[in-house]
Amino acid sequence: MGSEQLLEALAIDIAREAGELARRRRTEGVAIAATKSSIADIVTDADREVEELIRRRLRVERPGDGFLGEESAAERATTGVTWVVDPIDGTVNYAYGIPAYAVSIAAVAGEPEPARWEALAGAVFSPATGETFHAARGAGAWLDGVRLAVNAEPSPAGALLATGFGYDPATHAGDLARVARVMPLARDLRRIGSASLDLAYVAAGRLDGYFERGLAPWDHAAGALLVAEAGGRFVRVDMDDNPVRALFVASGPAIFDSLFAAALGP
């Protein structure tokens, strides 16, 4: 087993353990711990507890590796490998009891910045369905042992696409204008509420494509590798009007250029 596949096996094991904790806490009742960038951007006690479990496991199994997580302070690597972690991706779904949330764990090499890192391995675990999407660089993307491939061609009815909206209401008009530009390509649109699941579903051919602005590194680190290893394209573009809200587009090769052009706009 190569080093990337060892990282993949560890990501899978930790994501499943962390996901089981998240699922248990969900059944026990969810407490909102605080709000972050806006009143809509919530963090639950479980987000923090699950991230602490992941961090604890990594400290023991991979001392010296760096950490970049949604809910706690970053730590620089001395080994060249950094773990990029979203303990509960889809926190609003989780809080409302919508069973569409995931634990997303990726290992990257180099500077822990999306534009500069090299993704080595990743796992996206969906506690509600028990599904584990996973990939290692150069070794393909898998769902519980079944190899994944993006959709080669969308149906003649159009592409089944997904998107998302940020927590800042001031960005919604622009996001809705983007949806209006993209809809002529679509048979329908999904708003699943978890970028890591959106990307895993593109890799699995459950969606033809996905686009969104303003994702954080931990929202897409593992999902982007899944899409690439399943034969798809994933692009992150800095946007002039708001540098912190980059545009992310992912799909199979057949629709990528038209989806990207429509999402980017004039």
Contacting positions for ligand LIP (CB under 6 A): 70, 86, 89-91, 164-167, 193-195, 212, 219
Least distance in angstroms from the C-beta of 171 to ligand LIP: 10
Beta bridge partner(s), residue 118: 109
CB atoms within 10 A of CB 167: 15
Parallel, antiparallel or unpaired: strands 141-143 and 146-147: antiparallel
Cβ contact 123:89 at 8 Å: no
**Residue facing ligand LIP at closest CB distance:** 164
Nearer to ligand LIP, 109 or 218 (CB): 218
CB atoms within 10 A of CB 38: 12
Angle at 130 between CA 72 and CA 216, to 5 degrees: 30
| Cα(75)–Cα(1) distance, integer angstroms | 28
Cβ contact 74:66 at 8 Å: yes
Least distance in angstroms from the C-beta of 211 to ligand LIP: 11
SS3 149: coil
Least distance in angstroms from the C-beta of 229 to ligand LIP: 20
Least distance in angstroms from the C-beta of 78 to ligand LIP: 28
Least distance in angstroms from the C-beta of 41 to ligand LIP: 7
Nearer to ligand LIP, 109 or 133 (CB): 133
Nearer to ligand LIP, 201 or 256 (CB): 201
Nearer to ligand LIP, 109 or 200 (CB): 200
Nearer to ligand LIP, 4 or 19 (CB): 19
